[in-house]
């Protein structure tokens, strides 16, 4: 773990960026902890969506509120090809992502899920060495859209995760000519039955990117006995703020309460 820059503190939340080297890859990461805290405390890992980054508004806000409201720690990383993993920190991300979407339609698609599973495991290892976090309390995962497509395989492979929030993702039951959808059918369809921890799944009824049927396919494939589905009206990115409240409540229920 290599710290980057100076820590910043806002309303009792300390934010620190760091880098990890994992199998030749540089993984940019950030961790949020309570000011002046000592461990141990529960940790929640936050997976961002496509074309955003580890400190995009909703990720930073959720990380900060978990620290302020409950005394948890939170951490996020830039996914492959996102944020500080892009040239110039992603200043030209709109052009890059337009090219990638076009390449998907042409059948040129590389699955980097295994790399992300390894990157998340290394991040969890590193953050749990911090004295203000520790490794004796349970861990949660939160990630929607691409945060689900890359995070669900990680949760399936990581026994330290005790509870998860997924959503805005799915797969078709039959083979597809679209490499992106076929990847989801094979990878998510194979990993979802390995998920047995409590899960909240968030779906948008009018999602223009993930059909209702495909979202329900993924929810149904998750093997957890304790799982619940929240469906809200609106488009893919119109998740209501109440779902962040529900996510917090789920984490408190399964990760415990820290005395602030």
Q: Residue 183 is part of a domain; what is its CATH number?
A: 3.40.50.1820
The predicted structure's pLDDT at residue 125: 98
- Asked if the structure places residue 189 within a domain, the reply is yes
Kindly list the distances between the CA atom of residue 176 and the CA atoms of 184, 190, 226, 233, in Å, as whole numbers in the listed order: 10, 16, 31, 27
Domain span at residue 188? 2-255
- Asked if the structure places residue 173 within a domain, the reply is yes
pLDDT higher than threshold 60 for residue 8: yes
SS3 45: strand
Give the residue from 190, 186, 184 showing the smallest Cα distance to 171: 184
pLDDT class for 89, splitting at 50, 70, 90?
low
- Asked if the structure places residue 78 within a domain, the reply is yes
Q: What is the DSSP letter of 224?
A: -
The predicted structure's pLDDT at residue 177: 75
- Asked if the structure places residue 260 within a domain, the reply is no
- Asked if the structure places residue 201 within a domain, the reply is yes
pLDDT in tens, 136-184: 999 999 999 999 999 999 999 999 999 999 999 999 988 877 777 788 8
pLDDT higher than threshold 60 for residue 108: no
Q: How many CB atoms lie within 10 A of CB 153?
A: 22
pLDDT class for 186, splitting at 50, 70, 90?
confident
Q: 162 CB contacts (<8 Å, ≥6 apart)?
A: 138, 139, 140, 197, 198, 254, 255
**Number of domains the chain contains:** 1
């Amino acid at each position: 773990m290599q710290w980057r820059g100076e820590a910043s503190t806002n309303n009792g939340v300390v934010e620190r960026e760091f880098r990890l080297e994992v199998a030749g890859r540089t993984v940019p990461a950030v961790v949020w902890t309570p000011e002046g805290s000592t461990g141990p405390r529960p940790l929640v890992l936050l997976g961002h969506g496509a074309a955003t980054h580890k400190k995009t508004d909703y990720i930073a806000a959720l990380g900060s509120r978990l620290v302020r409201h409950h005394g948890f720690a939170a951490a996020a990383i830039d996914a492959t090809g996102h944020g500080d993993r892009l040239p110039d920190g992603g200043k030209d991300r709109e052009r890059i992502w337009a090219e990638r979407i076009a390449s998907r339609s042409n059948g040129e698609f590389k699955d980097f899920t295994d790399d992300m599973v390894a990157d998340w495991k290394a991040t969890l290892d590193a953050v749990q060495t911090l004295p203000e976090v520790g490794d004796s309390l349970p861990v949660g995962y939160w990630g929607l859209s691409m945060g689900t497509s890359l995070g669900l395989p990680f949760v399936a492979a990581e026994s330290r995760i005790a509870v998860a929030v997924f959503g805005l993702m799915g797969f078709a039951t039959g083979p597809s000519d679209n490499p992106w959808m076929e990847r989801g059918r094979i990878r998510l369809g194979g990993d979802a039955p390995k998920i047995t921890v409590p899960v909240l799944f968030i779906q948008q009824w009018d999602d223009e990117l993930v059909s209702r049927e495909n979202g329900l396919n993924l929810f149904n494939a998750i093997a957890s006995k304790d799982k619940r589905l929240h469906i809200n009206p609106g488009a893919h990115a119109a998740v209501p703020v109440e779902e962040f409240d529900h996510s917090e409540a789920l984490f408190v229920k399964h990760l415990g309460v820290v005395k602030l």
